[in-house]
Protein backbone atom coordinates (compact mmCIF):
# COMPACT_ATOMS: atom_id res chain seq x y z
CA UNK A 1 0.00 0.00 0.00
CA UNK A 2 1.04 3.58 -0.55
CA UNK A 3 1.91 5.83 2.37
CA UNK A 4 0.38 9.01 0.98
CA UNK A 5 -2.98 9.92 -0.57
CA UNK A 6 -3.25 10.08 -4.33
CA UNK A 7 -2.92 13.60 -5.67
CA UNK A 8 -2.94 15.07 -9.14
CA UNK A 9 0.33 14.34 -10.96
CA UNK A 10 1.65 16.83 -13.49
CA UNK A 11 3.10 13.88 -15.39
CA UNK A 12 -0.45 12.88 -16.30
CA UNK A 13 -0.65 15.70 -18.79
CA UNK A 14 -3.36 17.61 -16.97
CA UNK A 15 -6.00 14.95 -17.71
CA UNK A 16 -7.86 14.03 -14.53
CA UNK A 17 -8.91 10.42 -14.14
CA UNK A 18 -11.13 9.75 -11.14
CA UNK A 19 -11.65 6.14 -10.08
CA UNK A 20 -15.09 5.23 -8.68
CA UNK A 21 -15.45 2.06 -6.61
CA UNK A 22 -18.79 0.83 -5.27
CA UNK A 23 -18.62 -1.48 -2.26
CA UNK A 24 -21.05 -3.52 -0.21
CA UNK A 25 -19.98 -5.90 2.56
CA UNK A 26 -16.69 -7.01 1.01
CA UNK A 27 -14.09 -5.36 3.22
CA UNK A 28 -11.18 -7.65 2.33
CA UNK A 29 -11.79 -7.39 -1.41
CA UNK A 30 -12.20 -3.62 -1.15
CA UNK A 31 -8.83 -3.31 0.55
CA UNK A 32 -7.21 -5.34 -2.25
CA UNK A 33 -8.93 -3.16 -4.84
CA UNK A 34 -7.68 0.04 -3.22
CA UNK A 35 -4.18 -1.43 -2.86
CA UNK A 36 -4.22 -2.14 -6.60
CA UNK A 37 -5.37 1.40 -7.43
CA UNK A 38 -2.55 2.82 -5.32
CA UNK A 39 -0.06 0.59 -7.17
CA UNK A 40 -1.03 1.72 -10.68
CA UNK A 41 1.76 2.73 -13.05
CA UNK A 42 -0.44 5.67 -14.04
CA UNK A 43 -2.21 6.49 -10.81
CA UNK A 44 -5.74 7.93 -10.82
CA UNK A 45 -5.89 11.56 -9.75
CA UNK A 46 -8.61 10.89 -7.19
CA UNK A 47 -10.58 7.94 -5.89
CA UNK A 48 -14.24 7.97 -4.85
CA UNK A 49 -15.56 5.03 -2.84
CA UNK A 50 -19.30 4.66 -2.44
CA UNK A 51 -20.11 2.55 0.63
CA UNK A 52 -23.55 1.12 -0.05
CA UNK A 53 -24.67 1.02 3.62
CA UNK A 54 -22.34 -1.89 4.37
CA UNK A 55 -22.86 -3.73 7.64
CA UNK A 56 -19.29 -5.06 7.77
CA UNK A 57 -16.01 -3.10 7.95
CA UNK A 58 -16.05 -1.94 4.31
CA UNK A 59 -16.73 1.68 5.21
CA UNK A 60 -13.97 1.72 7.82
CA UNK A 61 -11.52 0.13 5.38
CA UNK A 62 -12.29 2.83 2.82
CA UNK A 63 -11.91 5.61 5.40
CA UNK A 64 -8.60 4.33 6.74
CA UNK A 65 -6.88 3.31 3.53
CA UNK A 66 -3.74 5.38 2.76
CA UNK A 67 -4.97 6.05 -0.77
CA UNK A 68 -6.99 8.91 0.74
CA UNK A 69 -10.27 8.18 -1.02
CA UNK A 70 -13.27 10.46 -0.93
CA UNK A 71 -15.70 8.08 0.79
CA UNK A 72 -19.46 8.50 0.42
CA UNK A 73 -21.33 6.57 3.12
CA UNK A 74 -24.89 5.93 1.98
CA UNK A 75 -27.67 5.24 4.49
CA UNK A 76 -29.42 2.70 2.25
CA UNK A 77 -28.14 0.03 -0.09
CA UNK A 78 -29.15 1.27 -3.54
CA UNK A 79 -27.28 -1.43 -5.43
CA UNK A 80 -24.54 -1.06 -7.98
CA UNK A 81 -26.69 1.19 -10.16
CA UNK A 82 -27.43 3.71 -7.41
CA UNK A 83 -23.87 3.50 -6.14
CA UNK A 84 -22.35 4.25 -9.53
CA UNK A 85 -24.80 7.08 -10.20
CA UNK A 86 -23.76 8.58 -6.86
CA UNK A 87 -20.04 8.07 -7.42
CA UNK A 88 -19.99 9.38 -10.98
CA UNK A 89 -21.92 12.50 -9.97
CA UNK A 90 -19.41 13.14 -7.20
CA UNK A 91 -16.47 12.60 -9.54
CA UNK A 92 -17.93 15.14 -11.95
CA UNK A 93 -18.92 17.77 -9.40
CA UNK A 94 -16.33 17.51 -6.65
CA UNK A 95 -13.27 16.23 -8.51
CA UNK A 96 -13.57 17.87 -11.95
CA UNK A 97 -13.03 14.57 -13.72
CA UNK A 98 -12.05 14.38 -17.38
CA UNK A 99 -12.46 10.60 -17.32
CA UNK A 100 -14.22 8.37 -14.80
CA UNK A 101 -12.86 4.85 -14.19
CA UNK A 102 -15.54 2.52 -12.79
CA UNK A 103 -15.23 -0.80 -10.98
CA UNK A 104 -16.78 -2.97 -8.29
CA UNK A 105 -14.98 -3.75 -5.05
CA UNK A 106 -14.06 -7.24 -6.28
CA UNK A 107 -12.12 -5.80 -9.23
CA UNK A 108 -8.33 -5.90 -8.86
CA UNK A 109 -6.59 -3.90 -11.61
CA UNK A 110 -3.14 -5.04 -12.62
CA UNK A 111 -0.46 -2.32 -12.39
CA UNK A 112 -0.62 -1.31 -16.07
CA UNK A 113 -4.44 -1.35 -16.31
CA UNK A 114 -5.08 2.39 -16.26
CA UNK A 115 -1.94 3.28 -18.24
CA UNK A 116 -3.07 0.96 -21.03
CA UNK A 117 -6.42 2.74 -21.20
CA UNK A 118 -4.96 6.25 -21.25
CA UNK A 119 -2.30 5.18 -23.78
CA UNK A 120 -5.13 3.95 -26.01
CA UNK A 121 -6.82 7.35 -25.76
CA UNK A 122 -3.59 9.04 -26.82
CA UNK A 123 -3.04 6.60 -29.70
CA UNK A 124 -6.59 6.70 -31.04
CA UNK A 125 -7.12 8.67 -34.28
CA UNK A 126 -10.79 9.05 -33.27
CA UNK A 127 -12.44 10.68 -30.29
CA UNK A 128 -13.35 7.96 -27.79
CA UNK A 129 -16.22 7.94 -25.31
CA UNK A 130 -15.80 4.54 -23.62
CA UNK A 131 -12.85 2.18 -23.11
CA UNK A 132 -13.14 -1.21 -21.42
CA UNK A 133 -10.53 -3.49 -19.87
CA UNK A 134 -10.09 -7.24 -20.24
CA UNK A 135 -11.54 -8.86 -17.13
CA UNK A 136 -10.09 -12.23 -16.15
CA UNK A 137 -10.92 -14.64 -13.36
CA UNK A 138 -8.44 -15.71 -10.70
CA UNK A 139 -6.95 -18.37 -13.02
CA UNK A 140 -6.46 -15.96 -15.93
CA UNK A 141 -9.39 -17.06 -18.07
CA UNK A 142 -11.51 -14.34 -19.68
CA UNK A 143 -14.42 -13.75 -17.30
CA UNK A 144 -17.76 -14.58 -18.98
CA UNK A 145 -19.57 -12.04 -16.82
CA UNK A 146 -17.72 -9.09 -18.36
CA UNK A 147 -17.38 -9.69 -22.09
CA UNK A 148 -18.05 -6.50 -24.07
CA UNK A 149 -20.47 -6.52 -27.00
CA UNK A 150 -18.81 -5.94 -30.33
CA UNK A 151 -20.12 -3.14 -32.51
CA UNK A 152 -21.98 -5.04 -35.21
CA UNK A 153 -21.51 -3.37 -38.57
CA UNK A 154 -18.47 -1.30 -37.56
CA UNK A 155 -16.96 0.31 -40.64
CA UNK A 156 -13.50 -0.50 -41.94
CA UNK A 157 -12.39 2.94 -40.71
CA UNK A 158 -13.76 2.30 -37.22
CA UNK A 159 -11.95 -1.02 -37.06
CA UNK A 160 -8.71 0.53 -38.31
CA UNK A 161 -8.94 3.40 -35.80
CA UNK A 162 -9.56 0.94 -32.96
CA UNK A 163 -6.64 -1.23 -34.07
CA UNK A 164 -4.36 1.81 -34.10
CA UNK A 165 -5.26 2.31 -30.43
CA UNK A 166 -4.66 -1.35 -29.59
CA UNK A 167 -8.28 -2.42 -29.38
CA UNK A 168 -11.47 -3.22 -31.26
CA UNK A 169 -14.85 -1.46 -31.54
CA UNK A 170 -17.53 -2.18 -28.94
CA UNK A 171 -21.20 -1.29 -28.51
CA UNK A 172 -21.62 -1.83 -24.74
CA UNK A 173 -19.30 -2.63 -21.84
CA UNK A 174 -19.33 -3.88 -18.26
CA UNK A 175 -18.68 -1.59 -15.30
CA UNK A 176 -15.91 -4.00 -14.23
CA UNK A 177 -13.20 -1.55 -15.31
CA UNK A 178 -14.58 0.87 -17.85
CA UNK A 179 -13.31 4.37 -18.57
CA UNK A 180 -15.98 6.96 -19.47
CA UNK A 181 -15.36 10.40 -20.96
CA UNK A 182 -16.76 12.80 -18.37
CA UNK A 183 -17.99 15.37 -20.90
CA UNK A 184 -20.15 12.74 -22.55
CA UNK A 185 -21.66 11.75 -19.20
CA UNK A 186 -22.35 15.42 -18.48
CA UNK A 187 -24.10 15.66 -21.85
CA UNK A 188 -26.00 12.36 -21.83
CA UNK A 189 -26.53 11.70 -18.13
CA UNK A 190 -25.84 9.18 -15.40
CA UNK A 191 -26.76 5.49 -15.18
CA UNK A 192 -30.32 4.84 -14.04
CA UNK A 193 -30.09 4.42 -10.28
CA UNK A 194 -33.38 2.49 -10.07
CA UNK A 195 -31.94 -0.52 -11.95
CA UNK A 196 -30.33 -1.58 -8.62
CA UNK A 197 -28.32 -4.41 -10.23
CA UNK A 198 -27.85 -5.70 -13.78
CA UNK A 199 -28.20 -3.93 -17.14
CA UNK A 200 -27.37 -0.48 -15.72
CA UNK A 201 -23.98 -0.68 -17.46
CA UNK A 202 -25.56 -2.19 -20.60
CA UNK A 203 -27.99 0.72 -20.93
CA UNK A 204 -25.60 3.48 -19.88
CA UNK A 205 -22.65 2.51 -22.08
CA UNK A 206 -25.16 1.81 -24.84
CA UNK A 207 -26.42 5.38 -24.44
CA UNK A 208 -22.89 6.81 -24.59
CA UNK A 209 -21.99 4.67 -27.59
CA UNK A 210 -25.10 5.06 -29.70
CA UNK A 211 -23.25 7.84 -31.51
CA UNK A 212 -19.91 7.77 -29.68
CA UNK A 213 -16.91 5.53 -30.27
CA UNK A 214 -15.83 2.86 -27.82
CA UNK A 215 -13.05 0.28 -27.81
CA UNK A 216 -12.07 -2.77 -25.81
CA UNK A 217 -8.40 -2.64 -24.78
CA UNK A 218 -7.04 -6.17 -24.17
CA UNK A 219 -3.78 -4.73 -22.82
CA UNK A 220 -5.65 -3.30 -19.83
CA UNK A 221 -6.21 -6.26 -17.52
CA UNK A 222 -8.17 -6.52 -14.28
CA UNK A 223 -8.94 -9.55 -12.15
CA UNK A 224 -12.60 -10.00 -11.30
CA UNK A 225 -12.59 -12.04 -8.10
CA UNK A 226 -16.04 -13.53 -8.15
CA UNK A 227 -16.64 -16.66 -6.09
CA UNK A 228 -17.26 -18.82 -9.15
CA UNK A 229 -16.33 -18.72 -12.83
CA UNK A 230 -19.69 -18.08 -14.48
CA UNK A 231 -21.78 -15.37 -16.03
CA UNK A 232 -24.29 -13.43 -13.96
CA UNK A 233 -27.23 -15.48 -15.25
CA UNK A 234 -25.80 -18.92 -14.34
CA UNK A 235 -27.77 -19.17 -11.08
CA UNK A 236 -29.67 -15.91 -10.66
CA UNK A 237 -32.34 -16.89 -8.13
CA UNK A 238 -34.46 -13.93 -7.10
CA UNK A 239 -32.12 -11.60 -9.02
CA UNK A 240 -33.75 -12.88 -12.20
CA UNK A 241 -36.39 -10.25 -11.44
CA UNK A 242 -33.87 -7.48 -12.16
CA UNK A 243 -32.60 -9.24 -15.27
CA UNK A 244 -36.09 -9.25 -16.79
CA UNK A 245 -37.29 -5.85 -15.59
CA UNK A 246 -34.11 -3.94 -16.34
CA UNK A 247 -33.43 -5.45 -19.75
CA UNK A 248 -36.97 -4.62 -20.81
CA UNK A 249 -36.56 -1.09 -19.46
CA UNK A 250 -33.30 -0.68 -21.37
CA UNK A 251 -34.68 -1.97 -24.66
CA UNK A 252 -38.16 -0.41 -24.59
CA UNK A 253 -37.95 2.78 -22.51
CA UNK A 254 -34.67 4.36 -23.62
CA UNK A 255 -33.14 5.71 -26.80
CA UNK A 256 -29.85 3.94 -26.16
CA UNK A 257 -30.34 1.45 -29.00
CA UNK A 258 -31.58 1.59 -32.56
CA UNK A 259 -34.65 -0.36 -33.65
CA UNK A 260 -32.62 -3.17 -35.20
CA UNK A 261 -30.37 -3.33 -32.13
CA UNK A 262 -33.44 -3.68 -29.93
CA UNK A 263 -34.58 -6.58 -32.08
CA UNK A 264 -31.13 -8.20 -32.07
CA UNK A 265 -30.45 -7.81 -28.33
CA UNK A 266 -34.06 -8.56 -27.46
CA UNK A 267 -34.02 -11.77 -29.44
CA UNK A 268 -30.82 -13.00 -27.83
CA UNK A 269 -32.15 -12.01 -24.39
CA UNK A 270 -35.39 -13.95 -24.82
CA UNK A 271 -33.48 -17.02 -26.00
CA UNK A 272 -31.30 -16.79 -22.89
CA UNK A 273 -34.34 -16.49 -20.64
CA UNK A 274 -35.97 -19.52 -22.23
CA UNK A 275 -32.83 -21.60 -21.68
CA UNK A 276 -32.79 -20.53 -18.04
CA UNK A 277 -36.46 -21.39 -17.55
CA UNK A 278 -35.91 -24.85 -19.00
CA UNK A 279 -33.13 -25.46 -16.46
CA UNK A 280 -34.79 -23.57 -13.59
CA UNK A 281 -38.60 -23.56 -14.01
CA UNK A 282 -38.93 -22.05 -10.53
CA UNK A 283 -37.71 -18.77 -12.04
CA UNK A 284 -40.96 -18.35 -13.99
CA UNK A 285 -42.73 -16.60 -11.12
CA UNK A 286 -39.75 -14.32 -10.48
CA UNK A 287 -39.52 -13.42 -14.17
CA UNK A 288 -43.26 -12.75 -14.33
CA UNK A 289 -42.88 -10.14 -11.58
CA UNK A 290 -40.09 -8.50 -13.54
CA UNK A 291 -42.23 -8.45 -16.68
CA UNK A 292 -45.19 -7.02 -14.78
CA UNK A 293 -43.16 -4.19 -13.25
CA UNK A 294 -41.41 -3.37 -16.53
CA UNK A 295 -44.81 -2.96 -18.21
CA UNK A 296 -46.25 -0.90 -15.35
CA UNK A 297 -43.78 1.95 -15.69
CA UNK A 298 -40.19 3.05 -16.11
CA UNK A 299 -37.45 3.61 -13.54
CA UNK A 300 -37.82 6.25 -10.85
CA UNK A 301 -35.62 9.37 -10.99
CA UNK A 302 -32.25 8.92 -9.33
CA UNK A 303 -33.01 11.53 -6.67
CA UNK A 304 -36.04 9.53 -5.58
CA UNK A 305 -33.98 6.35 -5.32
CA UNK A 306 -31.42 8.21 -3.16
CA UNK A 307 -34.01 9.94 -0.98
CA UNK A 308 -32.30 8.68 2.21
CA UNK A 309 -29.14 10.58 1.21
CA UNK A 310 -30.12 14.15 0.30
CA UNK A 311 -26.58 15.22 -0.62
CA UNK A 312 -26.16 12.42 -3.13
CA UNK A 313 -29.70 12.96 -4.43
CA UNK A 314 -29.04 16.67 -5.03
CA UNK A 315 -25.80 15.94 -6.88
CA UNK A 316 -27.52 13.40 -9.13
CA UNK A 317 -30.32 15.86 -9.83
CA UNK A 318 -27.92 18.61 -10.87
CA UNK A 319 -26.02 16.36 -13.27
CA UNK A 320 -29.19 14.93 -14.76
CA UNK A 321 -30.79 18.36 -15.23
CA UNK A 322 -27.67 19.63 -16.99
CA UNK A 323 -27.99 16.66 -19.33
CA UNK A 324 -31.65 17.47 -19.97
CA UNK A 325 -32.90 14.29 -18.30
Question: What pLDDT, in 10s, does the model give residues 116-152?
Answer: 999 999 999 999 999 999 999 999 999 988 889 999 9
User: Which residue ranges make up each domain of the chain?
Assistant: 10-230+299-322
- Is 130 in a helix, a strand, or coil? strand
pTM: 0.93
pLDDT at site 233 = 63
pLDDT at site 13 = 62
- Residue 317: pLDDT above 50? yes
Q: Angle at CA 226, nearest 5°, toward 221 and 232?
A: 100
- Residue 1: pLDDT above 50? no
pLDDT at site 312 = 97
Average the pLDDT over 213-236 and give the result: 86
Question: What pLDDT, in 10s, does the model give residues 51-76?
Answer: 999 999 999 999 999 999 999 999 99
Domain spanning 10-230+299-322, CATH class: alpha beta
Average the pLDDT over 308-325 and give the result: 96
d(CA 23, CA 104): 6
pLDDT at site 10 = 45
Which are the contacts of 94, defined by CB distance < 8 A and separation ≥ 6?
Answer: 48, 70
d(CA 170, CA 148): 7
State the DSSP string of 188-249. Answer: H----GGG-SSSHHHHHHHHHTTTS-EEEEEEEEEEE--SSSS-TTSS-GGGHHHHHHHHHH
Amino acid sequence: MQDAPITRDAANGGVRVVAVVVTYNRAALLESCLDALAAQDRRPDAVVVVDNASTDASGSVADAHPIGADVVHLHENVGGAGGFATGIARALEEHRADWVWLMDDDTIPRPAALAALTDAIDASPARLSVLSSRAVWTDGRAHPMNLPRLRVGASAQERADAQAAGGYPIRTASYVSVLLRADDVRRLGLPNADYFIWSDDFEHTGRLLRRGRGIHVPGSVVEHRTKVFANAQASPGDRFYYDVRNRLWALTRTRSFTLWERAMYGGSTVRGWLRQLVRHPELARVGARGLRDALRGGPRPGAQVLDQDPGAASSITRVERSAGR
